[in-house]
Amino acid sequence: MAAAPIAKDVADEIRNKFTALATDASKYYEADLERIKTDDKLVSRFLAHQRDDKDETAKMIESVFTWRKVNSVRDLDFSKDPDHVLTSMYFRGQDLDGADVLWVEPKYFDKTKRAEFEKYLMWLVENRPGEADSSQITIVLALGDVGLTEVDVEFIKYFINIFMYYTADVMKKMIIHNMHWLLNGVWKLVSVMLSEGAKKRVLFLKNKEVNKHIPEASVLACVGGPDPFRYQAA
C-alpha cells in the first residue's frame, strides 16, 4: 500500500528535528540524507511507525540511517548469482490490496550461513519492487514442514528486528502459515520483541485461509496454492 499523505509542515518539522540530531554527516549515507529532504512518503512511513510521535520519528530516522551505514546496506549486491539457499526468501506476486508479497521458506535455511541470510534479507527489502514509493509488503512464512530442528531462533529474532526497528512501517502484515504446535514455545520467545501494534499484524492461518489475503491464483504451492512456483533446494 502507498504511504499515507503527510502535511508539508509536519514533514518539514520532522526533518528539522532529525537535522538537529544528525550532527555528524559521516555517520550516514549521503543518498539517505538527500532522500529524506524531499521524500514525503518516506517521512510519512517513519511517522506511522512511531504512531504520529514527531520526536520519536526523528530519533528513529537517525537510528535507522546510522544502522544502514554501519551495515553497508546500500553497498550490498546479490543481484548476480547469490548462494542458492538464500533464495528461499523471495518476492512474488501481490496481496489483495496490491502490496508485494515476500515469501519465506525456513525449511531450507542453513544456520551455518546466518550472516549471509541477514545480509540477503537487508538487500531484498532495500531492493523490493515498491521501495521507491515506500510501499508496504505482506510477508508469508511457510511453516507447514518446519519443526524444531529447522528453526533458527536467532535469525527469526533478526528478521523481526529488521521490521520493528530498521525499516519504516514496511510490514503491512505477516502471515504465519500452518505453524506446528511444537513451535508455540519459539513464538512466545520471539513475540515479546513485537509491539502491540505489530502483533495485530501477525496472522496465524491454516490451509486455504491465506486466500482471504492473497488472490487464490497467486497463492504458491508451498502453502497449498495453485501457483506451481517452488523454491528448489540445490
Q: Judge whether 170 and 45 are in contact, CB under 8 Å.
A: yes
pLDDT tens by residue, 44-60? 999 999 999 999 999 99
Decide if 203 contacts 211 (C-beta within 8 A).
Answer: no
Residues 15-25 pLDDT 10s: 999 999 999 99
- The C-alpha atoms of residue 39 and residue 47 are separated, in whole angstroms, by 13
The percentage of residues in the chain with a pLDDT greater than 70, rounded to a whole number, is 97
Task: Determine what percent of the chain falls in helix, strand and coil, rounding each to the nearest 5.
Answer: 55, 15, 35
Please state whether beta strands 89-94 and 202-205 pair in parallel, antiparallel, or not at all (unpaired): unpaired
Q: State phi, psi for 219 to the nearest 5 degrees.
A: -80, 125
Overall average pLDDT of the 191-207 stretch: 88
Instruction: Write out the three cell numbers for 147.
Output: 519443526
What confidence tier does 3 reach under pLDDT thresholds 50, 70, 90? low
Least confident of 109-113, 137-141, 145-149, 194-198: 145-149
Checking if the pLDDT of 221 tops 80, the result is yes
pLDDT value of position 210: 96
Given this model, what pLDDT does residue 196 score? Answer: 86
Q: Has residue 120 got a pLDDT over 80?
A: yes
Nearest to 69 by CA among 23, 121, 31, 29: 29
Q: Map residue 174 onto helix, strand or coil.
A: strand
Checking if the pLDDT of 4 tops 80, the result is no
Using pLDDT thresholds of 50, 70 and 90, give the confidence band for residue 77. Answer: very high
Beta strands in the chain (DSSP E): 89-94, 100-104, 137-142, 171-177, 202-205
Burial string for 64-92 (b: 16+ CB within 10 Å, else e) reads bbbbbbeeebeeeebeeeeeebbbbbebe
DSSP conformational letter for 136? -
Stretch 105-132: mean pLDDT: 92
Q: What percent of the chain has pLDDT over 90?
A: 69
Distances (CA, A) of 216 to 53, 93, 95, 173, 205: 38, 11, 10, 17, 14
pLDDT at 189: 82
| pLDDT level of residue 2 (50, 70, 90 thresholds) | low
